[in-house]
Amino acid sequence: MKNQKVEITSTAIKKVLNKYSIEKAISEYIWNGFDAKASTVNINFEIESKDLGTYRSISVSDNGNGINFEELEIVFRRFYESKKYKTSSNDLIHGKHGYGRFTFYKYAQSAKWNTTYAKDEQNINYQINIISEDLIDFSTSETHNTNDQKGTSVTFEGVSNKISPKYIEDILKPYLRKEFAWFLELKEEFKIFVDNEELDYSSNIAEREPFTIEIDKIKFNCKYIQWNSKLNDEFSRFYFLNTNLDFKNSKTTLLNKKNDNFWHSILVTNDFFDKINTDIEDEEEEGTLKLFDNRDDLKIFKKLIFDLNDFLRAKRKPFLHIQAQHLIEKYENEKVFPSFGEEEWDKAREYSLKELIKGMYEVEPAVFTKLNTEQKKVFLQLLNLVMDSSERDGLFKIIGAVVELDKKERDDFAKLLKTTRLNQVITTIKLISDRILILDNLKKIVFDHELKANERDHLQKFIEKHYWILGEEFRLVCSEEVKFEEALKRYIYILRGIEESEYINHQHKYKEMDLFLAGTDFRDGKPHNLIIEIKNPTTIKKLTDKEVGQIKKYIDVILKQDKFNDHNEFWSFYLIGQDYEDIVKDDIQNFETGLLRKKDNHSLYVKKWSEIINEVERRLKYLLDKLKIEREKLSSAKTLDGIIEESNSVLQINKVPI
């Protein structure tokens, strides 16, 4: 049987490297220089035409060890296998696949290496040539002794017109900053020059902080770096170096790839890392690192990793706090939050939901990643419903099924749900307590006739300011001194967002309603509107046919206008006074509600002030009692002041912004 060889063609190589961009291809030659122990790499562009902005050639030069001629057959003949990778397991080797030398075809027609290496205390120089049309063949010159310093310069000719001054400034340099920033931080002597200008990557750094960690009297010098954006292909890592700043190994951090934009690196320096087993890369087996042969050294290393990750958690916390606020602003702009009204009650619920979202993001940002607009709406609505239900304690179990949570994150979630609910309960208790006080003040206005409160200046203004008394779901359209045409204009704008003048043809169109409220019926989602006519008990002791007739005129005006009724709106008309005459009482169909008339699209009610106040007071006191019971399960505070103080200290929230 005759042995056969599998051959790789130039076309096949190009297909493998097709994903490479020009800037990534150029960076491969920079990495080759650093892999060859260079401290400095220079990239120079030789201009061909200033008018056209084109280049004649590009050169990448380094002061590394050069390419040994005796190893050339291995280095240049093998594709997807590198000599460097096999012989330097403890070195920071990037070009371990052995195909970086071919990537020039993305931007040039030919490449020429001029390399100098040392042998037997003599420097030797020679050249290598490859053309892009035939990547598998290369030619070399004869070697000769030289006084030149060690290093390699690769010159590329037949440069693509895609490379221009604008490309260099806008694409190449930003790419190189993200590609090499972490590496350049390792040693001060590591430098990259582009057209004789040092590559400045300082704009990529959000924060840099030196610190120390001491374990068993071993002092580890550390440097923390937070990056403004993700580095090209580098994870968030710990880099371990000896005191000569020789790289020994690296390990991803616990907070790597957390989908939170917290990109970071930590350089750790001590001769302790000379003990790393260089025959093994960073492997783990059943949770035990194999990097150290000695158990005591392994114990120190584990404690170091724990302390480093703990340091990162502390750094990440304020960062996530800021990011969480950005998330809220983003969601507000995207309009994915559930709808909330303008009432204080609604604002408190909206505030609680946003605090929950921010807290959840600070515990596990991954929960909020990769959601499209509709998914965001559904998820936020789910959080809103769960927050108001008895099932909120199970929320972190659902989250845990979606993203992987460690024990600390699960504990943080459980605490977050508890404290968020506590804050919501405390806020609602304060809100209800304030409203009970408002109701007490309304009683004085209505029933203390010695105060001589009048309808327009006192009672009307009071109800206008606190119209939640008539229903939490309503918002104010207009109040007294507004004619029907203006009221219709405002109503259409609220309902449909259209602003235009309206005309009403009716004999009573100049009448003025005391209060016009608009809302949505929670049962069918249709518009539900309230027209309120208020009578001051100081001047009108009992309601008569005259007052009922007045509100019936309002009904006639509204129901005869198509624009008031073209969306199946339902209307409730309330006449409110201290008491009513028998002639009015005889027409009441339901004394519990005060119903006088019920039609398909409207109802008319007559109400006593005592009925209005007692109904709201019963509702608020019931809620207050229920919430106090729940608060006692969550909190140890017994007084309202104690509740607020506890909220401020535990949650660090002074007051709901309403």
- The answer to whether residues 190 and 211 belong to one domain is no
DSSP 8-state assignment for residue 339: P
CA 37 to chain centroid: 41
- The answer to whether residues 18 and 111 belong to one domain is yes
Burial class (CB in 10 A: 0-12, 13-18, 19+), 625: exposed
Assigned token pair, 553:
């005129």
- The answer to whether residues 223 and 90 belong to one domain is no
Q: What residue ranges in 181-262 does DSSP mark as E strands? A: 191-194, 197-198, 205-215, 218-227, 237-241, 247-252
Give the total number of structural domains in the chain.
3
Asked if residue 464 lies in contact with residue 479, where contact means CB atoms within 8 angstroms, the answer is yes
Tell me the C-alpha distance between 242 and 239, whole Å. 10
> Which residues touch 645 (CB under 8 Å, ≥6 apart)?
637
Distances in Å between the alpha carbon of 247 and those of 30, 34, 114, 239, 255? 18, 12, 28, 7, 22
Tell me the C-alpha distance between 226 and 577, whole Å. 67
**119 assigned to some structural domain:** yes
Assigned token pair, 298:
């392994």
- The answer to whether residues 30 and 165 belong to one domain is yes
Q: Are strands 237-241 and 247-252 parallel, antiparallel or unpaired?
A: antiparallel
* Closest to 221 (Cα-Cα) out of 272, 184, 275: 272
Last residue of a domain, one of 568, 588, 610: 610
**52 assigned to some structural domain:** yes
Task: Indicate the SS3 state at residue 401.
Answer: helix
**356 assigned to some structural domain:** no
**62 assigned to some structural domain:** yes
- The answer to whether residues 158 and 18 belong to one domain is yes
**354 assigned to some structural domain:** no
CATH number at residue 149: 3.30.565.10
**101 assigned to some structural domain:** yes
Tell me the C-alpha distance between 537 and 454, whole Å. 9
- The answer to whether residues 206 and 63 belong to one domain is no
Last residue of a domain, one of 198, 217, 232: 198
pTM of the model: 0.61
Asked if residue 118 lies in contact with residue 124, where contact means CB atoms within 8 angstroms, the answer is yes
Amino acid letter at 131? Answer: I
3-state secondary structure 459-489: HHHHHHHCHHHHCCCCEEEEECCCEHHHHHH
Task: Indicate the SS3 state at residue 34.
Answer: helix
pLDDT of 644 reads 43
pLDDT of 25 reads 92
- The answer to whether residues 73 and 177 belong to one domain is yes
Asked if residue 490 lies in contact with residue 515, where contact means CB atoms within 8 angstroms, the answer is no
- The answer to whether residues 298 and 152 belong to one domain is no
Q: What is the DSSP string of 291-332?
A: S-SSHHHHHHHHHHHHHHHHHHHHHHHHHHHHHHHHHHHHHH
Assigned token pair, 206:
């959000």
Q: Are strands 527-534 and 570-577 parallel, antiparallel or unpaired?
A: parallel
Half-sphere exposure of 517 (CA within 13 A, CB side): 26
The total number of residues written for the chain in this structure: 658
Last residue of a domain, one of 166, 198, 230: 198
DSSP 8-state assignment for residue 456: I
Asked if residue 267 lies in contact with residue 239, where contact means CB atoms within 8 angstroms, the answer is yes
3-state secondary structure 65-90: CCCCHHHHHHHHHCCCCCHHHHHCCC
Half-sphere exposure of 514 (CA within 13 A, CB side): 25
**491 assigned to some structural domain:** yes
Tell me the C-alpha distance between 365 and 358, whole Å. 9
Tell me the C-alpha distance between 604 and 615, whole Å. 18
- The answer to whether residues 510 and 564 belong to one domain is yes
CATH number at residue 493: 3.40.1350
Assigned token pair, 372:
């499209």
DSSP 8-state assignment for residue 286: T
Tell me the C-alpha distance between 335 and 381, whole Å. 12
Q: Which H/E stretch holds residue 396?
A: helix 395-402
Q: Which H/E stretch holds residue 156?
A: strand 151-157
Asked if residue 508 lies in contact with residue 557, where contact means CB atoms within 8 angstroms, the answer is yes
Q: Is the dihedral of CA 583, 587, 591, 594 positive or negative?
A: negative
pLDDT of 88 reads 40
Residues of the chain with pLDDT under 70: 1-8, 77-99, 278-289, 343-345, 385-433, 472, 480-481, 493-503, 520-525, 565-567, 622-624, 626-658
- The answer to whether residues 460 and 569 belong to one domain is yes
**Domain limits for position 134:** 10-198
Half-sphere exposure of 217 (CA within 13 A, CB side): 0
Tell me the C-alpha distance between 192 and 199, whole Å. 6
Amino acid letter at 491? Answer: Y
Tell me the C-alpha distance between 551 and 544, whole Å. 12
Question: Which stretches of 162-204 are DSSP H helices?
Answer: 165-167, 173-184
- The answer to whether residues 186 and 228 belong to one domain is no
**C-beta neighbour count of 209 within 10 angstroms:** 12
- The answer to whether residues 154 and 262 belong to one domain is no
DSSP 8-state assignment for residue 109: S
Asked if residue 238 lies in contact with residue 275, where contact means CB atoms within 8 angstroms, the answer is no
**652 assigned to some structural domain:** no
Provide the angle, in degrees to the nearest 10, between the axes of the packed helices 640-651 and 407-447.
150
3-state secondary structure 563-632: HHCCCCCEEEEEEEECCECHHHHCCCCECCCCEEEECCCEEEEEEEHHHHHHHHHHHHHHHHHHHHHHHH
Half-sphere exposure of 40 (CA within 13 A, CB side): 9
pLDDT of 463 reads 81
CA 542 to chain centroid: 60
